[in-house]
Amino acid sequence: MGPGPKVKCPPRLAPCGLRLVQVRFPTGLTSEEYVKQEAWRFARLERCPFHPEGGCGLARHGTYARVSPPGCLIARWWCPTARTSISLLPDFMCSRLTGTLAEVEAVVAAADAAPTREVASEVLRPDVELPGALRWLRRRTRLVHAGLAAAIGLLPGLLARCEPTITSVRSALGAEVALVRLRAELVPHLAALPPPLGFGPRPAQRRSSLTALQQESGTDPPSGTR
């Protein structure tokens, strides 16, 4: 990593400690193709999101591994001025949830179609006791529905008269998989949209569900450089 000239952060973007920022890596690849081609090696970050004028010392900062899909690495940069790590997340990948957008979308679609959340939990997570399976499912449905509701507000033409459900949005898009398509449609808004679709914070929540979320181990931020 080169030292690079020092540039003061604008006050608006003043760093408040170590952060993880994700930006879009539009590969057009499936998760299998991305892993097979080791496409993270071709990831490029042309400009620092904090210092588009340059001069901040932005440098490549290795990769980190995601739990799923196996063998999937994420390219990472480091801005020493903002003291921030910047990950290039391929379009098929969930932000801040394990796995791919297609996987979480399938889970939420199955939950929406099931007679009750308990039934859905038992079918989708037979390997986990019911309370844990319900927490796992609630986290995904809540985040995806929040992302869909936000998308409907941001894309009033494309998603006209949509309900914030996978079925309704798939139908409006004429797509078998909605979330990957939505990430591409929502590029200017991704930093503000909730994960796993967007790269923003999780929506505000009640205290009881916050506790439930904290009991499930996260997937980001990365634990090491490879």
Question: Which residue ranges make up the site for Zn ion (CB under 5 A)?
Answer: 48, 50-51, 56, 58, 79, 81
Q: Identify which of residues 9 and 177 has a Cβ nearer to Zn ion in the complex.
A: 9
- H helix or E strand, kind and range, residue 208: helix 207-214
Least Å distance, CB 48 to Zn ion, is: 3
Q: Identify which of residues 24 and 51 has a Cβ nearer to Zn ion in the complex.
A: 51
Least Å distance, CB 200 to Zn ion, is: 19
Cα–Cα dist 167/64, whole Å? 33
Q: What angle do CA 194, 196, 197 make, to 5 degrees?
A: 70
User: 3-class DSSP state for residue 118?
Assistant: helix
CA distances from residue 37 to 29, 46, 224 in whole angstroms, order as listed: 9, 21, 22
Least Å distance, CB 82 to Zn ion, is: 5
Q: Identify which of residues 59 and 65 has a Cβ nearer to Zn ion in the complex.
A: 59
167 by Cβ neighbours in 10 Å (0-12 / 13-18 / 19+) ranks as middle
Least Å distance, CB 215 to Zn ion, is: 35
For strands 73-79 and 84-90, give the pairing.
antiparallel
Kindly report the length of the chain.
Answer: 226
Q: Identify which of residues 80 and 132 has a Cβ nearer to Zn ion in the complex.
A: 80
Q: Identify which of residues 53 and 129 has a Cβ nearer to Zn ion in the complex.
A: 53
Least Å distance, CB 47 to Zn ion, is: 9
